């Protein structure tokens, strides 16, 4: 199965490099986009929408400067767009804080909550779970 767009939203360059390399090597997505915070992620989504496209999946960190993962979800929920419901959003975080897990449950648009690091088996599991042919 080949998906079109993945959006990695994380402020850590090492994490982005690793995840981009890992997922790129798997050959699942045509394009992997990176955003260092939620504000940039919203801009990337807007750029894709201008082309009539959208991310198939968003891997979203919680703790980022400028706009964190929860602030991104708050703004994302306000977008008036039909493609929104078809995008799989997974919180990918190092946060084991109970309050973060609980806060994530209030978002219907959030598909999953997984802990870092991302590795191939975990990514394959997500793809099988949300993108079965």
pTM summary value: 0.94
pLDDT per residue as tens digits for the range 60-116: 999 999 999 999 999 998 887 666 678 999 999 888 788 888 889 899 889 999 999
- For residue 64, being part of any structural domain is answered with yes
The mean per-residue pLDDT over the stretch 6-23 comes to 97
CATH number of the CATH domain containing 69: 3.40.50.2300
Q: Please give the pLDDT value at position 83.
A: 63
Q: Is 7 exposed, middle or buried (0-12, 13-18, 19+ CB in 10 A)?
A: buried
Q: Please give the pLDDT value at position 133.
A: 58
Number of structural domains found in the chain: 1
Cβ count within 10 A of residue 103 = 17
- For residue 133, being part of any structural domain is answered with no
Range of the domain at 51: 3-117
- For residue 112, being part of any structural domain is answered with yes
Cβ count within 10 A of residue 62 = 22
Question: What are the Cα distances from residue 30, in Å, to 20, 33, 51, 56, 126?
Answer: 12, 10, 15, 11, 17
- For residue 8, being part of any structural domain is answered with yes
- For residue 132, being part of any structural domain is answered with no
């Amino acid at each position: 199965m080949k998906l079109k767009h993945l959006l990695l939203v994380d402020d850590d360059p090492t994490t982005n490099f690793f995840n981009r390399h890992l997922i790129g090597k798997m050959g699942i997505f045509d394009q992997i986009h990176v955003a260092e915070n939620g504000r940039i992620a919203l801009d990337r989504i807007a750029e894709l929408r201008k082309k009539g496209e959208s991310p198939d999946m968003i891997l979203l960190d919680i703790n980022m400067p400028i706009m964190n993962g929860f602030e991104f979800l708050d703004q994302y929920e306000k977008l008036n767009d039909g493609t929104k419901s078809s995008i799989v959003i997974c919180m990918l975080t190092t946060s084991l804080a109970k309050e973060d897990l609980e806060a994530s449950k209030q978002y219907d648009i959030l598909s999953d909550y997984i802990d870092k690091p991302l590795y191939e088996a975990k990514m394959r599991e997500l793809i099988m779970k949300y993108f079965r042919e």
